[in-house]
Amino acid sequence: MTDKPQTRGIGMTSQRTRDRLIERLRAQGITSAAVLDAIRSVPRHLFVDEALASRAYEDTALPIGNNQTISQPYIVARMSESILRAEKHDKVLEIGTGSGYQTAILARLFKRVYSIERIRTLYEQTAKLLHKMQVANISLRCADGYKGLPHVAPFDAIIITAAPPDLPLVLLEQLAPGGCMVVPVGAHGSQKLLRLTRQGNQFKEELLDYVSFVPMLTGRG
């Protein structure tokens, strides 16, 4: 990532403000040094509208247009930390690129990130931003994430940042043995954040938290 003044940030986007966010995440129970480092170094203010930049290091979700939101830093940290439990960290699949913030964090934790977004305008905007920020180890697609990427599978980890009504079985099949999926499942208002770990053809399921994500929709937007 480049180190231009815009990337470093000033005032409410300065390194000090970012360090305070890291302290808050630590206090909330995030322990992975790799995840905390990634959050410290990825400039979240560049992923939101300029008018909202001063709020980028608050621990809150923010609008990114097209009725979608950039996830709350705590949730990004929690989900990233939970898939690091996977046996290998080579290939990760993200469903719901959105602003690209989670994608940029994953790019620091995995060798290669594949990310799918269904809304074309978001996909184009984010592809441009991540290119400008020189995040190189990522492949972005505009498609329906429910299908995954069978020709690239299996993945060491899969992270779903929109909520399907039920467990997405097609995607679970694209998980490598020893791999982990983190996914918010359920209707709005009563979603469970689950981690599924593949052990042979069985999946171990763990409840991580209760969350509120935008719905995972079918087809292209």
Instruction: Point out which span in 106-114, 118-126, 132-140, 193-201 binds ligand SAH (CB under 6 A).
Output: 118-126
Q: Is 71 a residue of the active site?
A: yes
174 binds ligand SAH (CB under 6 A): no
3 SS3 class: coil
Choosing from 14, 32, 71, 190, the catalytic residue is 71
Nearer to ligand SAH, 71 or 191 (CB): 71
Distance separating alpha carbons of residues 192 and 206, to the nearest angstrom: 10
149 near ligand SAH (CB under 6 A): no
Confirm if 213 and 191 have CB atoms less than 8 A apart.
Answer: yes
* Strand 191-199 with 175-185, pairing: antiparallel
Query: Closest approach of Cβ 199 to ligand SAH, in Å?
Result: 27
Q: Using CB under 6 A, pick the residue from 9, 43, 73, 98 that binds ligand SAH.
A: 98
* Residue 114 engages ligand SAH in binding (rule: CB under 6 A): no
Site for ligand SAH contains 93 (CB under 6 A): no
Q: What distance in Å separates the CA atoms of residue 53 and residue 43, rounded to the nearest whole number?
A: 10
Q: Cα(159)–Cα(98) distance, rounded to whole angstroms?
A: 13
Q: How far apart are CA 127 and CA 135, in angstroms?
A: 10
Question: Which position among 112, 118, 195, 198 is part of the footprint of ligand SAH (CB under 6 A)?
Answer: 118
Catalytic residues: 71
